[in-house]
Structure 1
Amino acid sequence: MKTISTLNGHDLAEAYQLELLCHVIPWSKQIFYSNQGESYLNLKICIDQQIVGFCICQTVADEANLFNIAIHPQFRQQGLAKDLLNELISRLMASNSPSTIWLEVRESNQAAIKLYHSLGFNEITIRKNYYPTATGDYENAIIMAFTLRL
């Protein structure tokens, strides 16, 4: 059974293992654990009570920033990231707080870019040489935004 709920402190060790599995250059444990708290709306998606994905979203003033999203490789291409993001958007809209969700995505991550476009995110600009790569080079980030309310 699939469920989406708040990522809480008890989930962090399991979620961090997913972070390590999903990203070529993962966040450090310190950074991952510090992106929690009152100004965050962090969600997890579970299949049969196993965390298979999460998103980390900070809300400040009238903006939300999607900092991180991960889906276990064995559970990709099943619409779980879309489900997770739709839930995040719904919760942010219900909160009547942020008016825009911002995110940065690697230029090479075409699957994610396609997903964000399908949800209504728009490309705003390019941040040159933003993401480090495994080879020691840098890759551009595409800045995208989703308007929750005008």
Structure 2
Amino acid sequence: MTVASLREVLPVEQAAYEFPWTRGNFIDSLHAGYDAQLLMRDDGTLIGYFVAMAGVDEMHLLNLTVTPSFQRQGHALRLLDALCDLARSERGAHQLWLEVRVSNLRARAVYDRYGFRSVGLRRGYYPAAAGRREDAIVMSLGL
């Protein structure tokens, strides 16, 4: 992912989430050197992407999104495979962490099926409707 590819990324982000990342969130992540990769079809159509931050012996998944019209086709698993390969081989990570909304049952099912385990709860982590906040489940996967 590059700043130029945000032309394709931002509409997907906005279609996929009620509280999407902003252009500034993506630019800050890219400028900070976070790992950000796209999954594209052969015709150049954006299927999905991830943004992850490397730490000491670990990787933290910040955003994994599949274009709504491509959801439920296994693409999230392909993105997770790519992220795990990157984390292990290029970053030397032994653990992958993420937060997921308590209400995001589809994403939680994907992460459970992939082998992530719930390890904690962050209260009021995400913005929610009517100025409220939603809890996040902290999940971890040994690499």
With normalisation by structure 1, the TM-score equals 0.87
Query: Displacement of 1:87 after TM fit?
Result: 1.2
**DSSP 3-state at the match of 2:21:** coil
8 Å CA contact 1:106, 1:140 repeated in 2: yes
Q: How does 1:72-87 map to 2 (within 5 A)?
A: 72-87=67-82
Counterpart check, 1:45 vs 2:46: no
The residue aligned with 1:131 is 126
Which of 11, 31, 44 is matched with 2:5 structurally?
11
8 Å CA contact 2:60, 2:96 repeated in 1: yes
Which of 97, 106, 119 is matched with 2:101 structurally?
106
With normalisation by structure 2, the TM-score equals 0.91
Which stretches in structure 1 are left out of the alignment for 5+ residues?
A: 1-6
* More displaced stretch, 95-104 vs 32-41: 32-41
Paired letter, 1:15 = V
**Regions of 4+ moved over 6 Å:** none
Paired letter, 1:34 = D
Query: Displacement of 1:28 after TM fit?
Result: 1.9
8 Å CA contact 1:25, 1:134 repeated in 2: no
* More displaced stretch, 99-108 vs 26-35: 26-35
Query: Displacement of 1:22 after TM fit?
Result: 1.1
**DSSP 3-state at the match of 1:30:** helix
The residue aligned with 2:88 is 93
- What is the Cα-based RMSD across aligned positions, in Å? 1.5
Inter-partner Cα distance in structure 1 for 2:111 and 2:74: 12
Which stretches in structure 2 are left out of the alignment for 5+ residues?
A: none
Query: Displacement of 1:96 after TM fit?
Result: 5.1
| Cα shift readout 1:58-108 (whole Å, capped 9, x = no counterpart) | 112222110011111111110111111111111211125222111000001
The residue aligned with 1:71 is 66
